[in-house]
Amino acid sequence: MFLIQLPAQAPGHFDDIIAVSMKPTRELALRLFTVILFCILAVAGLGFSIYIFMVATDTYMLVVGCFFLLLSIVAALFNGFAAMYYYRSYFYSRYISQVEEGLKPIGRLPSVAVAVPIYNEDPEEVKRNALGLMKMNYPRSKVKFYFLDDSTNPEIVESLRAFAKRHGIAFLHRDTRQGYKAGALNNMLKVSKEEFIAIFDSDEMLTDRNFLMELLPYFQDGKLSYLQTEKSYHKGTFFSDSVALFDAFFFKFIQPSRALNNTAIFAGSCGIIRRSILDKLGGFPEYVIEDTFFSFDAYKGRYKSLYVPKIYALGRPILTFTSLIKQQWRYNYGDTQFLGYFMRNSKKLESLSALSNMDYRIHGFGLNYLSVMLLLFTLVSVLIVFSSIPILHVTLQQFVTGTSIVGYLEVFGAAAFILSLLVPVMLTKFYFKSISKGFMVFALNFALAIVRAKAAVAAVLKKEPGIHWNRTKTEKSNLAFSLLNTKMEVAFSAFLFILGYVAIVINNLTGGVWLFAYGIMYSLTTVLLYKYG
């Protein structure tokens, strides 16, 4: 058994952490400003909804107003949770410091299985990263390395099998991908006996050899089921570095906030799992995002989790738009599956924290919210443009003098639209020192909206959990190929451009520009596929 002394005191309550951390620092001021931005964005959307009702003159306008109000309420709720995540994450450093203060030196070193799932990866990259993992600062007699190979290419399989044999790595190959990555990990559980399991993706290069020595002491709490560290990528191109910000926002703000509620997500790699608890939970749930399901099962079983905001390995950057599309498809397919799983288990969560339960609801709805809400707001915008609702009829003098509350509410619509662009740009500038990447993050959310929505539908219909976009280097500049693979986005963009032109023809210049802007954003799917492959 892995015996370590327990800490004398548990970490302080969140209210106590806030009390000792509320110092007028620049970082705290930045978090508070972020909260204000999200609140303004929420109020702007709700204000424009009220405006629609105030100027409505027929049933059609009232129906449009109801739709926009409903969407604005949902958006306000998500913006409220986003604000909370940004704010609460500021205090996580104090929390993790309290945890570390109670740690004691390791007594007996436990045995560890280091698992590397593989599926048709570049064998040379896999070998190079495996050699790096084998240099970990940990007694070789206490650690065993596993290649979990589901590759279908015989040359890759034989190359990795020979490498594993030379270096004393256990090589487990499956002829099918049943259960995907979870299936490969569960297959390993049949033969491994180690007390802990550390998982690394085959593209991840270890950058800190003290991974095990620094992280295993946290498991002195026998209820701690898993520990996740911060994940990051090697520097790449402007595109790949912008894509990396998706994960950066998650690990720097959402994970710390969730960890305060004991709902930090196990992110599939760069983490450690206690084998005994994994066995009690029945192994890894065999879904495409097994990490989220496993995290939820551990939470449902009343076990603890922990997030350590330190980078120990760097993954391969996402260099092509096709790779990003496949990743996002898998994420949203899995999140949609998870929503159903969460709902089916909701009865078992009644005695647990309502805030913690909400973390998992928000996680399941996250990408669905970003995609479906963008599409619905776009469609409602079309209805608004072609209604009798006056747009930008208020004069500057009327607005300045405040002669009409309606005038102020009308401006809220423009404020909501502008802030939806500026908020991600401003946050990227504040926290990651880049305006241009902020614009790219904003653009990517539109470029991915339809793909994410299609993935959600595929999950509901229980279709194959993958998107089949396959490109070769010779096809990289093939415009026809890009248009063919994004035909739905092309059709939707054309639809918006046509409606924008019609709006301008009937002297609704503002509405036409509004729809043209949406059309441009959705056409970025084709543009990015053409440019980045």
- Whole-angstrom Cα distance, residue 24 to residue 21? 9
The answer to whether the CB of 309 falls within 8 A of the CB of 215 is: no
Which strands form 112-118's sheet, in the order they lie side by side?
170-173, 143-149, 112-118, 196-199, 271-274, 224-233, 304-315, 205-206
The answer to whether the CB of 116 falls within 8 A of the CB of 145 is: yes
- Please give the DSSP secondary-structure letter assigned to residue 265: P
SS (H, E, C) 459-505: HHCCCCCCCCCCCCHHHCCCHHHHHHHCHHHHHHHHHHHHHHHHHHH
Centre a 10 Å sphere on the Cβ of residue 355 and count the other Cβ atoms it contains: 12
Beta-strand ranges (E) seen in 153-235 are 170-173, 196-199, 205-206, 224-233
The residue assigned the tokens 């309420």 is 73
Side chain identity at 4, as an amino acid letter?
I
Instruction: Indicate if the alpha-carbon torsion angle 472, 457, 245, 70 is positive or negative.
Output: positive
- Whole-angstrom Cα distance, residue 468 to residue 322? 9
DSSP string over 396-451: HHHHHHT--HHHHHHHHHHHHHHHHHHHHHHHHHHHHS-HHHHHHHHHHHHHTHHH
Please report, for the chain, how many H helices and E strands are present, in that order: 21, 8
- Per-residue pLDDT of 361-398, as tens digits, reads 888 877 677 788 889 888 988 888 888 666 555 444 55
pTM: 0.86
Residue 533, CA distances (Å) to 108, 144, 330, 527 in order: 51, 39, 19, 10
Print pLDDT tens along the chain (533 aa).
Answer: 333 333 333 444 545 544 444 455 778 888 888 889 888 888 888 888 888 877 777 888 888 888 888 888 888 888 888 888 888 999 898 899 888 888 888 778 999 999 999 999 999 999 999 999 999 999 999 999 999 999 999 999 999 999 999 999 999 999 888 899 999 999 999 999 999 999 999 999 999 999 999 999 999 999 999 999 999 999 999 999 999 998 899 999 999 999 998 999 999 999 999 999 999 999 999 998 999 999 999 999 999 999 999 999 999 999 999 999 999 999 999 999 998 888 888 777 876 777 788 888 888 877 677 788 889 888 988 888 888 666 555 444 554 554 444 445 566 666 777 778 788 888 888 888 899 999 999 999 999 999 999 998 898 888 877 666 555 445 445 788 888 889 999 999 999 999 999 988 888 887 888 899 999 999 999 999 999 98
Side chain identity at 317, as an amino acid letter?
P
Rg (C-alpha) for the chain, rounded Å, is 25
pLDDT at residue 425, as a whole number: 87
- DSSP H or E run through 144: strand 143-149
Look up residue 2 and give its two tokens.
Answer: 């892995």
The answer to whether the CB of 51 falls within 8 A of the CB of 412 is: yes
The answer to whether the CB of 443 falls within 8 A of the CB of 72 is: no
User: Following CA atoms 510, 519, 504, 380 in sequence, which dihedral angle do they give, to the nearest 10 degrees?
Assistant: -60
List all residues 6 or more positions away from 373 whose beta carbon is below 8 Å from its beta carbon: 71, 74, 75, 78
Residue 423, CA distances (Å) to 90, 129, 419 in order: 19, 38, 6
- Please give the DSSP secondary-structure letter assigned to residue 250: I
- Per-residue pLDDT of 127-168, as tens digits, reads 999 999 999 999 999 999 999 999 999 999 999 999 999 999
List all residues 6 or more positions away from 326 whose beta carbon is below 8 Å from its beta carbon: 466, 467, 469
Side chain identity at 61, as an amino acid letter?
M
- Whole-angstrom Cα distance, residue 127 to residue 166? 11
Give Cα 125 distance to the centre of its chain: 26
Pairing of strands 196-199, 271-274: antiparallel
Q: Is 92 exposed, middle or buried (0-12, 13-18, 19+ CB in 10 A)?
A: buried
pLDDT at residue 28, as a whole number: 85
pLDDT at residue 2, as a whole number: 36
Nearest to 253 by CA among 9, 30, 21: 30
pLDDT at residue 343, as a whole number: 87
- Domains annotated on the chain, with CATH: 108-367 (3.90.550.10)
Side chain identity at 240, as an amino acid letter?
S
Centre a 10 Å sphere on the Cβ of residue 369 and count the other Cβ atoms it contains: 17
Three-class DSSP category at 226: strand
Three-class DSSP category at 96: helix
